[in-house]
């Protein structure tokens, strides 16, 4: 596919049928699409298809050289930092405690000022100080680090793509390994925007099931095609993120995966933000995420007005309430 044009991929897609759906096995196709690499802005084309039965949008062929597309610093590998100001540190902890348990009034105020969606998504896991929690594809381990700051001691992150194992001074640990190399028995296993990157979601959930205690919970936080953004922006949808996102799951496809691997879906919470709008609007205009003009690189350049960004934040919240935001947290419980 290297060096080919979008037109060439379309032509090829017309001759070669897509593979069966890697979620539900169906060969019925709802649509075929060409998405360009737009985070780095190489504009290489990649063919995707959407399953007519479970609705999952997926890359037709997983590139053999996928690692190349993670070069140049993927955002989640930036190491966590503790605020130097003790007052600020206290405010961050209060915000996170509210996100986890909903009990700290001051934390609620802090959360209103700056949301912490990843931490908020953990609330259905009902964490206790001794909960054994594994974060898969954790990058530098930001979330594990923050949980250790709050006193959670039995937390571990794994990621096969980090440079080396890391141990933080608060007890948080991150190991350079994949899910296949993970061991132990866990009360909860979570994937924060990592599950859409794994080549075989069924095998990944089976492995997760084996690592969980009975009644244990699995959190899948993923972008979803069950969203306004996919409907409205199509292949310009910023969270399609070809070719790194191999799967853009629908609600139905997550339900199918859960049932096929011994889980029940017990909670779904949408937590999209304004990124779905400004990122997709940029792609529509041919502006890569890492372009000098991008709001992500240079917000002061003023590509979008403050009023526009605030309006998009409000619309994102409305979409979340309506169950149409472009990302969601699915909580699965291991069947007895």
Residue 24 or 329 with smaller CB distance to Zn ion: 24
Interaction of residue 54 with Zn ion, rule CB under 5 A:
yes
Q: What is the DSSP string of 195-224?
A: GGG-S-HHHHHHHHHHHEEEEEEEEEEEEB
Which range of residues in 48-56, 92-100, 175-183, 215-223 is near Zn ion by CB under 5 A?
48-56
Segment 2 to 21, residues that bind Zn ion, using CB under 5 A: 21
**Binds Zn ion (CB under 5 A): choice among 9, 23, 133, 329:** 23
CB of 34 to Zn ion, least distance (A): 20
Please name the residues in contact with 64: beta carbons below 8 A apart, sequence gap of 6 or more: none
Phi first, then psi: give them for residue 107, nearest 5 degrees. Answer: -60, -35
Segment 216 to 255, residues that bind Zn ion, using CB under 5 A: none
**Binds Zn ion (CB under 5 A): choice among 1, 10, 12, 26:** 26
Interaction of residue 24 with Zn ion, rule CB under 5 A:
yes
CB of 234 to Zn ion, least distance (A): 19
From the list 262, 290, 77, 277, the residue with the least C-alpha distance to 174 is 77
Interaction of residue 170 with Zn ion, rule CB under 5 A:
no
Q: How far apart are the first and last CA of the chain?
A: 45
Residue 91 or 258 with smaller CB distance to Zn ion: 258
Which range of residues in 22-30, 90-98, 102-110, 201-209 is near Zn ion by CB under 5 A?
22-30
Interaction of residue 257 with Zn ion, rule CB under 5 A:
no
CB of 280 to Zn ion, least distance (A): 24
User: What DSSP designation does 60 have?
Assistant: S
Residue 51 or 172 with smaller CB distance to Zn ion: 51
Q: How many residues line the site for Zn ion (CB under 5 A)?
A: 7
Residue 23 or 328 with smaller CB distance to Zn ion: 23
Residue 147 or 328 with smaller CB distance to Zn ion: 328
Residue 53 or 317 with smaller CB distance to Zn ion: 53
Long-range contacts of 28-33 (CB under 8 A, 24+ apart): 28/52, 28/53, 30/55, 32/60, 33/57, 33/234, 33/235
Is the preceding peptide bond at 92 cis, omega within 30 degrees of 0? no
Going 180 to 183 to 187 to 188, the CA torsion angle's sign is negative
CA distance 15 to 60: 13
CB of 191 to Zn ion, least distance (A): 19
From the list 155, 160, 192, the residue with the least C-alpha distance to 177 is 160
CB of 227 to Zn ion, least distance (A): 17
| Paired tokens of 317 | 């919240």
Which range of residues in 53-61, 161-169, 308-316, 328-336 is near Zn ion by CB under 5 A?
53-61
Cβ atoms of 133 and 190 within 8 Å: the answer is yes
Interaction of residue 51 with Zn ion, rule CB under 5 A:
yes
From the list 131, 143, 185, 193, the residue with the least C-alpha distance to 168 is 143
The residue ranges that bind Zn ion (CB under 5 A) are: 21, 23-24, 26, 51, 53-54
């Amino acid at each position: 596919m290297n060096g080919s044009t979008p037109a060439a991929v379309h032509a090829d897609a017309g001759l070669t049928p897509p593979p069966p759906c890697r979620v539900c096995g169906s060969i019925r196709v709802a649509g075929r699409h060409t998405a360009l690499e737009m985070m780095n802005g190489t504009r290489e084309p990649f063919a995707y298809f959407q399953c007519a039965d479970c609705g999952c949008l997926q890359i037709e062929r997983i590139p053999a050289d996928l690692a190349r597309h993670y070069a140049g610093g993927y955002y989640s590998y930036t190491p966590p930092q503790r605020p130097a100001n003790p007052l600020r540190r206290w405010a961050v902890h209060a915000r996170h405690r509210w996100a986890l348990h909903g009990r700290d009034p001051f934390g609620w105020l802090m959360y209103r000022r700056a949301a912490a969606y990843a931490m908020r998504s953990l609330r259905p896991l009902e964490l206790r100080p001794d909960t054994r929690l594994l974060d898969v594809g954790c990058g530098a381990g930001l979330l594990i680090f923050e949980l250790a700051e709050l006193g959670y001691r039995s937390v571990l992150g794994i990621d096969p793509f980090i440079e080396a194992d890391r141990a933080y001074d608060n007890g948080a640990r991150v190991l350079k390994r994949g899910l296949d190399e993970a061991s132990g028995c866990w009360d909860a296993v979570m994937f924060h925007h990592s599950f859409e990157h794994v080549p075989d979601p069924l095998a990944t959930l089976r492995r997760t099931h084996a690592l969980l205690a009975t009644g244990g919970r699995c959190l899948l936080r993923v972008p979803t095609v069950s969203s306004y953004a996919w409907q409205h922006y199509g292949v310009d949808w910023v969270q399609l993120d070809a070719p790194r996102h191999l799967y853009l799951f629908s609600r139905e496809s997550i339900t199918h995966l859960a049932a096929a691997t011994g889980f029940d879906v017990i909670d779904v919470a949408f937590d999209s933000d304004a990124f779905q709008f400004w990122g997709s609007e940029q792609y529509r205009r041919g502006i890569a995420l890492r372009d000098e003009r991008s709001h992500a690189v240079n917000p002061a350049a003023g590509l979008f007005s403050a009023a526009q960004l605030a309006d998009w934040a409000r619309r994102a919240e409305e979409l979340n309430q309506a169950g149409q935001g472009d990302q969601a947290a699915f909580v699965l419980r291991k069947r007895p």
